Structure 1
């Protein structure tokens, strides 16, 4: 704002509805999709933009271009047309002769290939330590009997299945044993018993009349309907009376989803939203305090985006942590995704295209790239083929499909190339759309809650350090013993915490975060082990584990220290007011030093350190030192 004018009053700004920019335009807000149309499919009414139209292109959520394709390997680049497979997103970004700036909280595997190496990185852990975001408690790992053993139908058992297109149900006997693991719950099998057990546990943990909001991720739209029904039943059984609007499905298939999103964001009800994909990214509701996973995802990017829905601060309701409920072992699965991986690998490449590549090349390296993809596609298409299509493929192949894939895999690449040359229709027929719908099983197996463990020390890869609080606290104590004399900041925290600087505290917090000792996990483990909910600071936990110092809520330590200092001598009214403000700031920041007094409200309202120091007759640093010394004085 300049001279009470907003940015758009000073500069020419084009908005989403504007297709082109003028010479006077300083900022143009647009979507990648709009430029895909203009650059790749120009028309008389919408010509291609000039490559020098923009000096700088800023792309928010810049990881999104990799959701449907991956980078071609060096080998593939030798025999595949790069333009066939490179993402439209990337082509748009690289079209303009401009500085390109990408912004994302969840970089994909090859984001740096477009934008270069990161010029600035600010991690989630740093944002939590700096009080810009909040952390989550050790996750609730919900374990049921069916989740542990899977759902099993013995050979010859009757199994009910539903056609997802028509809703028609059929009953048949299994030719072999059928087993569905937890990863396919609510996708390949509808299991009301499992969902009911989970919903009953959630009802014990979530009160729908509180201001906090809950976001539940389901596998399908039908699954979301089932969860809404079962959760309402569980809440009514627990609380007797529950508003019908308290629990709402918010998916693309819901009635007026945008209106529901606005209500969820701005009104008290609904305060429990059940969704599938609609609310996974780009959606902020500060009051979300509970995230529930009832579906698996195979993308670390998506997983982190889903968790990120609850990381926003909300002082209005006193939100300082959020809770995560994992009923499908998603934290365990994420440990397998140690890199940012795309969801799919060139999903639209056809069998016909792969066959063409096979018959064109004799290079063994190319064969190693082509054949696994070709066999995987043939296997997938044959599995889904209806009877008519199977008969047509068998007629072309000249043998039963039951043995076809084994025969193809046993052949040499040159033999395979000749086989496909002799049967030119095979690839085009197998690429035809499949009419067959995969039925969804219905399980009537009973289920029960076996255990709810806490995942203490969740690592970046999603794995948990320990599920036993006593073991976790022992590991923390051992870590301190092993490193006390090696890390200066740790030694200061133990021996002289009043001298700990802001930089040393952040260094210490980042080090402990790296080694899976978050403040929220230590608080949770202490609560679960001792049945005491003590909001001690990370310094308090360090001193308790290292030297047996009493574990006392940090706010209590600050209140006691400020009272002691205020009673130590006669203070003026302005001095007493400032001492109280310093106490409040200590609770929020742990360390209040000259730097803290030269920013924020202390700077704007009180004039900063120099002005405050005059109020204390030049003794402010000594006062701060006395407060910090009293905070860590033995309270026994």
Structure 2
């Protein structure tokens, strides 16, 4: 089967899997006999339609079987013998303009994290879930409840009000210069929970039944309510349980809020997908007056769904790059000093810009780019920064091959300065500067997470993984302690381990592991993106090579101070320019564990002449020896 023959039916996030025609032999026929049976079966939503009685139906036919699903599960891959023939990822869909990227607003409250308690001998309002009648009773004992119980077995209006009030206060910072609340879908736990949320939303936003309504199976005429939510400008917020979780498109939707947990990664992706759909700007403006175009959606998380290890809540644009200006990213592309994260951010910015600009502006930019559209440039950046593509490049040609992918993707931007200038001119026409809300203040209350067992479970599972793969882990420990081992080899081994544990069923990243250790009070320090160096720090701690677990950068900085002190004791003095080179090498080591002579021709070293400048500064007889010494001393 040719993969391209299915490309026109693949949807964002969709996977196509296939079984050979001779896998099942329920029906036999000779080539000369006309067949009444299909030669090819296409199974839609195959993550659920291959089970039960339908499996027997599918297995009856002797035919090629192609399964389509946006959310494959382990059983799906098992049924199709892991024969994945085509996939279309969310990142690709954003780059293609089929889906929009998203931001995450993680709200933590005391009750939302730790639950609460109702004291004994206090009148408590109790609602009969069947009749909705209210009564008041005194409890004989304290009623302690977890956060997950809210909305299911106990109701806490204060917790709902706190979350809705924060959303009410903060949404304008994600959607500046808007007069209307973005269309918002809130997922509740139960029908009664949904009723409470609707009442509090109307209270805080000052809206009526036309502004906010419940869309559940118990609601009156839910299908009409769904239609109204799509098309009516006055209907801004809908509250549901499961009815709109899958299979229902509300394209103008810009906010998806979870007031319920989700244990299934498949179900979460379907729920999250409600906000990902693109919409024609004219149609969007009819239901959201004053808005230009749907550029993104906001995932509001007061219950921790984005903390779950099975959840893919990673936008195309890395969070660490969202404060970097488009102009700076374009300049880095022009100077060939752009890295993978920055290239991914640039792709997301261009895809978002393409959603806003007019067809004439799109055509103008394509002409300036020599015929390549902004969409095609964004697609190229997405492909070049995809994790799997980067890993394949690393396996075939190491880091130079990875870097070449990025340079090839930004070549059009680098070679056409007039294109870059026009992009910025157009962007300024649509961009409205504003003070972005700082989520760190809210998320910094890490102590609130200690009431949950998620960090403890993550660390326990990670330690079990190390035990189960003791040979690989011990080999890394030996490499850490071997002064003759090339640092580049250690880095490559750690990269392979990081790639391995990031895949199912683990889906860990160095940052996820670090946060778990940090929340348990084991890891020191905070802030900054955690990568392969922190994975090494975690391994060294677990192997007993280090007594403390702290950010790798602080280790390098301390080693640098000690090394400089020893140099001074030995009578060696460095000039200001030489110290600049040593400091920049230390920063690079903190990010990548080693620095090669070739790296000295890249950013930031290129601004002082690259390798030639380094040799001029330290001399032929000292330059190579010094770089080797720093590579072996600072990471230790």
TM-score normalised over the length of structure 1: 0.45
Higher relative contact order (CA 8 A, sep 6+): 1
